[in-house]
Amino acid sequence: MKRSRRAFEIFNMSFLDVISCGFGAVVLLVLISKYQIAPEQGPNEEIAPLLSQVLELENRNKSLSEELQQLQQTLASASREAEALSEKAEIQAQKRETERKQGAKLQQDLEGLQLVQESLKRATITPGRASERDEEVGGIPVDSDYVIFIVDTSGSMKEIWGRVTKEVVNVIKIHPEIKGFQIMNDNGLHMISGYAGKWIPDTPARRKSVMNLFKGWNSSSNSSPVEGIEVALKKYARPDINLSIYVFGDDFTGSSYDRVVKEIDQLNKRKPDGTRLAKIHGVAFLSKHSTNRFPTLMREVTKRNGGTFLGLTL
């Protein structure tokens, strides 16, 4: 007779016994083992290191600020010293430039005086031709048919413009009968542009209107009559007319007397009778503030070109 097999069960009593024993062993081990609870850190213990770092950074920042302040003071001191040295250097440079200009001016004046001395050695009129002198008024020949006024219109002349106008009127009055006249500044700029290259007809009414315009003439120039004389000779001088040029001024800003005299000699050529195309006269306004450069130049120019030089004291 066969025995019947029992059904196999996983969770039988033996298995449960083993599990229970194992669990009990684990509980026993937990109970008998030593353990400690980690102490909690209080808020003071966390802040203390941070405060220490903050204090250290503040001390370092203070030290750096003091060093920066010292560097700024040193830099400011060095900057002041550099500025003082720069000012001294600029003053020295200006002083040297002033001395250079004074030296150049003295050299030019010396050259001008030499020209005057040389010209004084020459007789103005040769004895054999004394009877051939033109009729004169106050030493100025008045036989010209045409007259040109070249007037310095710089700032210094504008300050005495009333006196300048008066002298221009006086000069034109000593020419009672002329065919035409012209007015320009020392740079060759015509006062009446519509008459540039042409003669202004001479009538009493025209003289009066032109002189009224002259009183209010506003033009700038560089106190150098060379350009004006060149324009006058190139545009108006001809062998078949009698021309007088009057140059009014108080200063000459050019660099060389010799060059100016030579250029005028070349332009103001001689006629077949030996006279120049134009007589060139000079009128200088002299004051304690003016230099002798314009008189020096015009004395030589007038002597070479049959003219007369007048120096008027202000």
Identify whether 175 is part of a domain. yes
Q: Is 124 helix (H, G, I), strand (E, B) or coil?
A: coil
Identify whether 95 is part of a domain. no
| pLDDT attached to residue 210 | 94
Identify whether 198 is part of a domain. yes
Identify whether 67 is part of a domain. no
Identify whether 180 is part of a domain. yes
State if pTM tops 0.75.
no
List the domain range (segments joined by +) for residue 204: 143-313
* Number of structural domains found in the chain: 1
Query: For 62, which DSSP code?
Result: H
Pairwise CA distance, residues 143 & 176, whole Å: 10
For residue 260, the one-letter residue type is V
Identify whether 21 is part of a domain. no
Choice between 185 and 21, residue whose per-residue pLDDT is larger: 185
| CATH number of the domain bearing residue 200 | 3.40.50.410
Distance of CA 57 to the CA centre of its chain: 56
Contacts of 292 (CB under 8 A, 6+ apart): 109, 112
Instruction: Give the pLDDT mean for 57-81.
Output: 86
Identify whether 181 is part of a domain. yes
| pLDDT attached to residue 284 | 92
- Judged by average pLDDT, the poorest of 45-54, 71-80, 95-104 is 45-54
| pLDDT attached to residue 102 | 76
| pLDDT attached to residue 261 | 92
Cβ-defined contacts of 95-102 (< 8 Å, 24+)? none
> Is the pLDDT confidence value at 103 over 90?
no
Residue 229 burial class via C-beta count within 10 angstroms: exposed 0-12, middle 13-18, buried 19 and up: buried
* Residue whose entry in the numeric block shows the structure tokens 């033996």: 14
Identify whether 131 is part of a domain. no
pLDDT tens across 10-54, in order?
556 666 777 778 777 777 777 776 555 555 555 566 677 777 788
Contacts of 250 (CB under 8 A, 6+ apart): 152, 154, 156, 157, 160, 223, 284, 285, 286, 287, 290, 294
